């Protein structure tokens, strides 16, 4: 019974992803790239046929999911769309290695943005658009998009979204999860359109503006230029993308509260205040260190602001190679790898709210040493926090760091030096993209051994799905009845 339900849900998700291939098909037609069209049309039509056949065969069955099976559904969904999304790249002949094609697709959907390609400018524009579009689909969550359409199949989508959404606490901004999914995706879509228009005004052509809006709002980092955003050599473009990277790193629920006039929810949000404060301080500190490199403090602020936004939101765009900056500036960039954006955003990483919770708990533990009989609790969003949230965060941090250590070890097995392996571990699990050393912003991942690429694929998906959704299958407790 569960296998049938799984196939039905996966067929719907793959059909939705397949339908979005209409965008690169339209781009191929507009750019006279007729040789590309079949690479998108064939998988798109096949996804529709598969969905229709499954829907007709099992139309009378109602889908019911248990909590433990939602993890299987979400994990299988992300693996399936990653394999499906690589078809235009591999079957079209644009990436010759199957492993590389899967790596590129996983990097796209997980919004990591690391690439095996050394010359992205040689790709057809429609193919580059598809690479960036995978960021956009993965950013807000393809399962969340599907849940908005799945009520017709009778699926209770809240558990599905909980298994996909980032952050220690998951909730709804409206009473119905399907309405919440629609609202968040609509906000996401509108912000993408606004950024694309602004980038067009700043000098990008229509296709590039759409691509980079996809990559920015999805906090991915794929670009149509080998030099990333730095290749446009435009301060206006840099500023627009910086602003939207920062916006993409904010919990999207806050935009709904702003739209509905619930400004107290924003003012009292502990994570939002910490995120903005940390961003501003990081920009100013790094700008002070790189000021001599760029001559003027304004230019240093522009470059620093862009790079801080790119790393803290795990977008991974670049206008400069930070590995060539003074060591003090590199140290603060390295610290940003530990941070991440806000929960409920499209950014990856540990998430600011977890650091807020841990810092508040450290403060409480200090108070207890001074006042042994006192009773202290953390306060989040001006409300008393639950003790179990602290335990949740502590457990997550242990698992997160353990996976980074394991990923570091795999990198060392692939003959990477310890700095490269360690920072690549943070980059893969945190979905950042660039690292340090041999995998810095000026390099790509194409030279890695295949076994390292496959492990990195697992690490990227695990990081995007907040670890437990992917690794729960390896825990004995999951298989106990």
The mean per-residue pLDDT over the stretch 376-399 comes to 81
pLDDT score for 147: 62
In angstroms, the Cα distances linking 390 to 78, 364, 402, 462 are 29, 12, 18, 21
Torsions phi, psi of 363, nearest 5? -60, -40
Two tokens at 410?
């795999």
The mean per-residue pLDDT over the stretch 314-327 comes to 92
Residue 171 has pLDDT above 70, yes or no: no
The mean per-residue pLDDT over the stretch 138-152 comes to 68
The mean per-residue pLDDT over the stretch 427-452 comes to 93
Q: What is the mean pLDDT of the chain?
A: 88
Torsion angle (degrees, nearest 10) of CA 87, 90, 94, 95? 130
pTM, rounded to two decimals: 0.91
Residue 106 has pLDDT above 70, yes or no: yes
Instruction: List, for residues 176-202, the tens digit of each pLDDT value.
Output: 667 777 888 899 999 999 999 999 999
pLDDT score for 479: 66
Residue 62 has pLDDT above 70, yes or no: no
pLDDT score for 153: 46
pLDDT score for 265: 86
Residue 146 has pLDDT above 70, yes or no: no
pLDDT score for 142: 73
- Give CA–CA dist 220/111, Å, rounded: 4
Two tokens at 420?
């490269």
Instruction: List, for residues 331-386, the tens digit of each pLDDT value.
Output: 999 999 999 899 888 898 999 999 999 888 888 888 888 888 777 777 777 777 66
Q: How confident is the model at residue 161 (pLDDT cuts 50, 70, 90)?
A: low
pLDDT score for 166: 57
Residue 392 has pLDDT above 90, yes or no: no
Residue, of 69 and 249, whose pLDDT is higher: 249
SS (H, E, C) the chain: CHHHHHHHHHHHHHHHHHHCCHHHHHHHHHCCCCCCHHHHHHHHHHHHHHHHHHHHHCCCCCCCCCHHHHHHHHHHHHHHHHHHHCHHHHHCCCCCCHHHHHHHHHHHHCCCCCCCCCCHHHCCHHHHHHHHHHHHHHHHCHHHHHHCCHHHHCCCCHHHHHHHCCCCCCCCCCCCHHHHHHHHHHHHHHHHHHHHHHHHHCCCCHHHHHHHHHHHHCCCCCCCCCCHHHHHCCHHHHHHHHHHHHHHCCCCHHHHHHHCCCHHHHHCCHHHHHHHHHHHHHHHHHHHHHHHHHCCHHHHHHHHHHHHHHHHCCCCCCCCCHHHCCHHHHHHHHHHCCCCCCCCCCCCCCCHHHHHHHHHHHHHHHHHHHCCCCCCCCEECCEECCHHHHHHHHHHHHHHHHHHHHHHHHHHHCCCCHHHHHHHHHHHHCCCCCCCHHHCCCCCCCCCCHHHHHHHHHHHHHHHCCCHHHHHHHCHHHHCC
Contacts of 290 (CB under 8 A, 6+ apart): 300, 303, 304, 325, 326, 329
Instruction: List, for residues 253-278, the tens digit of each pLDDT value.
Output: 899 899 888 888 888 899 999 999 99
Residue, of 26 and 55, whose pLDDT is higher: 26
Residue 81 has pLDDT above 90, yes or no: yes
In angstroms, the Cα distances linking 16 to 21, 76, 102 are 9, 15, 19
pLDDT score for 150: 58
pLDDT score for 326: 94
Residue 157 has pLDDT above 80, yes or no: no
| Percentage above 70 pLDDT, the chain | 89
pLDDT score for 159: 59
Instruction: List, for residues 276-304, the tens digit of each pLDDT value.
Output: 999 999 999 999 999 999 989 999 999 99
């Amino acid at each position: 019974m569960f296998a049938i339900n799984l196939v039905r849900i996966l067929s719907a998700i793959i059909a939705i992803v397949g339908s979005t291939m209409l965008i690169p098909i339209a781009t191929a037609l507009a750019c006279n790239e007729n040789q590309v069209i079949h690479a998108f049309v064939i998988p798109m039509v096949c996804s529709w046929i598969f969905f229709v056949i499954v829907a007709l065969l099992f139309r009378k069955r109602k889908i019911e999911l248990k909590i433990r099976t939602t993890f299987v559904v979400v994990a299988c969904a992300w693996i399936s769309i990653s394999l499906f999304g690589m078809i235009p790249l591999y079957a079209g002949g644009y990436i010759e290695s199957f492993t590389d094609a899967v790596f590129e697709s996983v990097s796209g959907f997980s919004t990591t943005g690391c690439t095996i390609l050394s010359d992205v400018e040689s790709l057809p524009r429609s193919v580059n658009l598809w690479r960036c579009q995978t960021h956009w689909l993965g950013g807000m969550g393809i399962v969340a998009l599907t849940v908005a359409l799945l009520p017709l199949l009778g699926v209770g989508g809240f558990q599905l979204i909980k298994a996909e959404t980032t952050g220690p606490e998951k909730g709804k901004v409206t009473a119905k999860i399907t309405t919440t999914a629609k609202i968040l995706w609509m906000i996401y879509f509108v912000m993408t359109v606004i950024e694309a228009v602004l980038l067009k005004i700043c000098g990008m052509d229509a296709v590039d503006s759409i691509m980079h809006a996809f990559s920015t709002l999805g906090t991915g980092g794929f670009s149509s230029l080998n030099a990333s955003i730095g290749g446009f050599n435009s301060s206006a473009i840099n500023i627009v993308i910086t602003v939207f990277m920062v916006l993409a790193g904010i919990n999207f629920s806050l935009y709904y509260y702003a739209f509905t006039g619930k400004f107290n929810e924003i003012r009292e949000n502990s994570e939002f205040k910490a995120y903005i404060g940390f961003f501003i301080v990081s920009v100013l500190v790094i700008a002070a260190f790189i000021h001599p490199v760029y001559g003027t403090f304004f230019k240093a602020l522009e470059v620093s602001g862009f790079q801080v936004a790119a790393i803290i939101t795990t977008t991974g765009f670049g206008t400069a190679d930070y590995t060539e900056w003074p060591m003090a500036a590199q140290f603060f960039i390295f610290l940003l790898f530990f941070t991440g954006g806000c929960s409920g955003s499209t950014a990856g990483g540990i998430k600011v709210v977890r650091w807020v919770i841990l810092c508040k708990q450290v403060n409480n533990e200090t108070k207890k040493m001074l006042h042994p009989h006192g009773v202290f609790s953390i306060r989040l969003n001006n409300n008393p926090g639950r003790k179990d949230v602290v335990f949740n965060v502590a457990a997550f941090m242990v698992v997160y760091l353990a996976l980074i250590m394991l990923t570091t070890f795999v990198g060392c097995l692939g003959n990477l030096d310890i700095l490269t392996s360690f920072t690549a571990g943070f980059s893969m699990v945190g979905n950042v993209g660039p690292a340090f050393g041999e995998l810095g912003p000026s390099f790509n991942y194409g030279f890695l051994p295949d076994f390292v690429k496959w492990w990195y694929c697992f690490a990227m998906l695990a990081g995007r799905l907040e670890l437990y959704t992917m690794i729960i299958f390896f825990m004995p407790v999951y298989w106990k009845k």
